[in-house]
Amino acid sequence: MKILILILILAVFCQSLFAQDPNKTFWPQFRGPGGTGIMESSKTAISWHTDSLRNIKWKTAIPGLGHSCPVIWNDLLFVTTAVSSKPDESLKVGLYGDIDMASDSSEMEFRVYCMDKNSGKILWQKVAHKGFPKSQRHTKSTQANCTPATDGKHLVVHFGSEGLYCYDLKGKLLWKKDMGILNPGPYTDPGVEWGYASSPVIYKDRIIVQADIPKDPFITALDIKTGKDIWRTSREDEVSGWCTPAICTEGGKTQVVANGYRQICGYDFETGKKIWRLSNGGDAPAPTPVIAHGLIYLNSAHGKFSPIFAVRPEATGDITLHPDSTRSKHIKWSIKRGGAYMQTPLIYGDYLYNLQVNGTLTCYHALTGEQVYRQNLSEPFSSSGVAADGKIYFSSENGNIFVIQAGPEYKLLSVNKMNDVCMATPAISGNVLFFRTQHGLVAVE
């Protein structure tokens, strides 16, 4: 009996030890587990120095251009890029309002990289597609915007008009699928293309792809083993958008949530049937829905509207608010102006942190919508925030990483220079932060 008790104690201890092992954490999609942007079990750095290599675990160069974020499964890190045959491919960052397209007129290799997350060593690389781009991009965009997704068996990468590809984690191509011409752009200027950027999401045995494009926008669920459509639902009158969908399992049902302008919707995960619809988002939407506190948080900003909505997951039907209202039976709270154009909000603890492209950071109470503080970081931002260990990380386009203490008071802990452009949202695994810059990947511990 004593031996049995000892074995049970050891088993519980080992299970607890494994559960707390920070090296066994995953960052499987855009903004990590559940798309939250949070890795609570990690102990992450406050400051580092890229030149002296203080707190720098490794740096690895990646050729080409890509705004896709790194994803991680155990010790493997995956990232994509588009490598042009023309040297010095252009990327114009900063705050400007031009709608100009880049002149991508050269042949490109659309590549997938697998790296050792502990050393930065490239383990394998694959050319998913080689050819001239089938659609164009904005001068601030790339041909590899979509973040991969993995479930530990499959790696799904999306290159927009160049197709959807599924590999195993050793780099074997399992299947590929032509998704058609995916060429979103400003709906007010037909023919202008800004580049596809919605990342695939894996849930259970399905891949969810949102394609808000000028002609015949849709959202679809694909069988992860074959790539075949399980369901495909029209997004009807929706305009071009760049939003990654989210999975909500609150309220006793699983639904796919898609942000948008006219078509902010919840769809039944099993059938693709529309459950609810909300209109009056920003007219060039990019942020991803976030599920937290039993609510669905949505924001966007462009044109007439720049709202933040906190939607109850049991919503049904058309839940569009009356112009004079900020809440309803289906919407716990909302604000009419203050949402972000590019960034997905970060909901960490009791607070929602909303960062705008001009560097204005506003903190709201997540359950009431009450503004807690507002601070101007005075730099341009495109990437979304992530959090760990009571700290929030915001990466500016200039390559400055703002580390802010989480909580109801603004407290800047440090600003760290990456000495390179940062357009991608960071990843977190173990006690390490992984930053994708214009020219490579940097691991900070």
Domains with residue ranges and CATH for the chain: 23-444 (2.130.10.10)
What is the average per-residue pLDDT within 170-175?
A: 98
Residue 171: CB atoms within 10 A of its CB come to 15
The pLDDT value recorded for residue 213 is: 98
What is the average per-residue pLDDT within 43-71?
A: 97
* Per-residue model confidence as pLDDT tens digits over 294-304: 999 999 999 99
* Residue 6 pLDDT class (50, 70, 90 cuts): very low
Handedness of CA 404, 311, 281, 335 (dihedral sign): negative
Residue 15: its H or E element: helix 2-20
The pLDDT value recorded for residue 25 is: 81
* Per-residue model confidence as pLDDT tens digits over 316-329: 999 999 999 999 99
What is the average per-residue pLDDT within 159-169?
A: 98
Strands 317-318 and 274-278: parallel
CA 368 and chain centroid, separation = 25
pLDDT at 22 over 60: no
Contacts of 71 (CB under 8 A, 6+ apart): 27, 28, 29, 30, 77, 78, 79, 147, 148, 149, 150, 427
* Per-residue model confidence as pLDDT tens digits over 136-149: 999 999 999 999 99
User: Three-state SS for 346?
Assistant: strand
pLDDT at 24 over 80: no
What is the average per-residue pLDDT within 82-98?
A: 91
Whole-number Å distance between alpha carbons of 268 and 253:
8
pLDDT at 72 over 50: yes
Phi then psi for residue 161, to 5 deg, are -65, -15
The pLDDT value recorded for residue 241 is: 98
Contacts within 8 Å (CB) and 24+ apart, 232-237: 232/272, 233/267, 233/272, 233/273, 233/274, 235/210, 235/211, 235/260, 235/263, 235/265, 236/263, 237/262, 237/263
Give the lowest-confidence range in 14-23, 43-52, 89-98: 14-23
What is the average per-residue pLDDT within 235-243?
A: 97
Handedness of CA 234, 177, 253, 342 (dihedral sign): negative
pLDDT at 174 over 70: yes
Report percent pLDDT > 90 for the chain.
Answer: 91
pLDDT at 386 over 70: yes
What is the average per-residue pLDDT within 26-39?
A: 97
pLDDT at 315 over 90: yes
Residue with tokens 């299970």: 15
pLDDT greater at residue 9 or residue 395: 395
Give the lowest-confidence range in 24-33, 155-164, 378-387, 401-410: 24-33
Nearest to residue 207, comparing CAs of 225, 196, 223? Answer: 223
pLDDT at 23 over 70: no
pLDDT at 128 over 50: yes
What is the average per-residue pLDDT within 160-177?
A: 98
pLDDT at 2 over 60: no
* Residue 433 pLDDT class (50, 70, 90 cuts): very high
